[in-house]
Chains A and B, each alone.
Chain A
Amino acid sequence: MSNFFNIDIVNPEQSFLSKDNVFEVVIPAVEGEIGILKDHIPIISFLKPGIIRVFSESEEQSFYVEDGIVEFKDNTLSVLTSSIFDLKDADKNFVSESISSAEAELSNDNIDDQKRFLLNHKVEVLKSISIN
């Protein structure tokens, strides 16, 4: 029996990625990264800014996401997100713009702790992208 399952990444405009030969996906859920293998129990969670890694038979892909919802059910992983891009076609300008806008928001004093945490995290991830 194969160890493969399906993944569907959709954003509001279109279906972003659809594959049926992945054996592991690592998603940045709010409470920590989750690695998903075949026959994982049904789970619903949402994402924090981070990198989704999709391991399929032939290749490994990485995507940056800002937020979204994941659902795993019947060996299909659905990722709903409004902001996603492939790390390979990351746009340097866009990344640095996002960093500076996030930093500008961070300098604002009246944001709550959770938001501050998310923004800090976002800056961290984006910086790690721009280094590579």
Chain B
Amino acid sequence: MPSLDDLRKRITSVKSTQKITKAMKMVAAAKLRKAQENAEKGRPYSEKMNNVILNLSKSITDKENAPKLLVGTGEEKVHLCIVLTADRGLCGGFNTNIIKKAKSYFEKIISENKTLKIITVGSKGYDQLKRQYKSYIVENISFKESKNINYFDADKVGKIIIEKFEKNEFDVCAIFYNKFKNVITQIPQEQQIVPLNEDKDDKDDSGNDNDYEFEPDEDEILSNLLPKNISTQIFKAMLENSASEQGSRMTAMDNATRNAGELVDRLTIEYNRSRQAAITKELIEIISGAESL
């Protein structure tokens, strides 16, 4: 049975923890709103970009000579995985969910005897993956210093990917991130960016073929556009990720605050009981002492 003093100390300690989690929740809520806005603002760009590429790729007839970024190298031996995670913890299952998704993909690649290469973006992903997959990690990028998500950072990652592709260091590239659905739900996503996967859009509007005028020709525009598209996709993933991170942290901190509240209630009852018990004990002692006189 803990003494009264111990109980009192525990109650204060839990209460101050509760204060911290509450503050973190509020900060996350404020940041979430901003992140959500940013994600929404960034959507038109990636949508338009997708549209243009779709229209372009439809008008390419000579699939053999099409840019490799679009159609692939024709092989599937080396897989490059970009794992986008947060730089900070205390956000529930946010990082773990991405890692879990990525790991199951890694296992598949390894069991098929293909070569795996990993780039981690965000320090938490690196921390979790380095134990098991250290030898596969080729690069580890973190944007801890930049306060906001900006396109410049995404472009840096994009350039690294392009550079590796041009050196023939990989055939297929996939990115892993959390898609923001709402505050409670974030869905870990796996998206292939090289070669571009577009089969699901194909059936949508196969009937309408726009006769675009291209200046210069399709190939040149595509080879200019595709590297940009990679950066754009990464940027989109980063935006979704940051909204998810804040949402996830908000829910996690909300739960923590509630748990702390319950704990305080329980400890207070225990404290009151044992205080009452001590008083009763003292009373009995006094009374029985008086009676014996």
Residues of A with Cβ closer than 8 Å to B?
Answer: 8, 10-15, 29-31, 34, 41-46, 69, 71, 73, 78, 80, 82
Contacts and interface: CB of A to CB of B under 8 A. Distances in A.
B38 A13 contact: yes
Interface in B36-72: 38, 41-42, 44-46, 48-49, 51-52, 55-56
B151 A43 contact: no
B211 interface: yes
A2 B211 CA distance: 25
Given A10-B48, A13-B151, A69-B52, A42 B213 contact: yes
Contacts of B55: 44, 71
Given A44-B52, A69-B52, A78-B48, A14 B42 contact: yes
B44 A45 contact: no
Nearest to A40: B213
A37 to B, nearest CB: 14
Contact of B213 (A14, A43, A80): A43
Contacts of B46: 12
Nearest to B151: A12
Contacts of A15: 41, 44
B150 interface: yes
10 contacts: A12-B235, A29-B215, A31-B215, A44-B215, A45-B216, A45-B221, A71-B52, A78-B48, A80-B52, A82-B151
Given A44-B55, A46-B224, A82-B151, A12 B216 contact: no
B216 A31 contact: yes
A45 to B, nearest CB: 4
By Cβ-Cβ distance, the 8 closest A-B pairs, closest first, are A14-B41, A12-B151, A45-B215, A43-B213, A42-B212, A10-B45, A10-B44, A12-B45
A13 B150 contact: yes
Contacts of A42: 210-213
Contacts of B38: 13-14
Interface of B: 38, 41-42, 44-46, 48-49, 51-52, 55-56, 150-151, 154-155, 210-216, 221, 224-225, 228, 232, 235
Nearest to A79: B48
B52 A12 contact: no
B151 A11 contact: yes
Nearest to A68: B228
A41 B210 CA distance: 10
Contacts of B214: 43-45
Contacts of B155: 82
Given A8-B48, A29-B215, A43-B214, 5 more contacts: A8-B44, A10-B45, A15-B44, A43-B212, A45-B216
With most chain B CB atoms within 10 A of its CB, the pick from A11, A29, A46 is A46
A10 B41 CA distance: 9
A39 B216 CA distance: 21
Contacts of A46: 221, 224-225
A12 B48 contact: no
Contacts of B215: 29-31, 34, 43-45
Contacts of A71: 48, 51-52, 55
Contacts of B151: 11-13, 82
A31 B214 CA distance: 11
B213 A12 contact: no
B267 to A, nearest CB: 48
A15 B47 CA distance: 12
Contacts of B216: 30-31, 45
A80 B210 CA distance: 20
Contacts of A14: 38, 41-42
A81 to B, nearest CB: 9
Contacts of B49: 69, 80
Contacts of A78: 48, 52
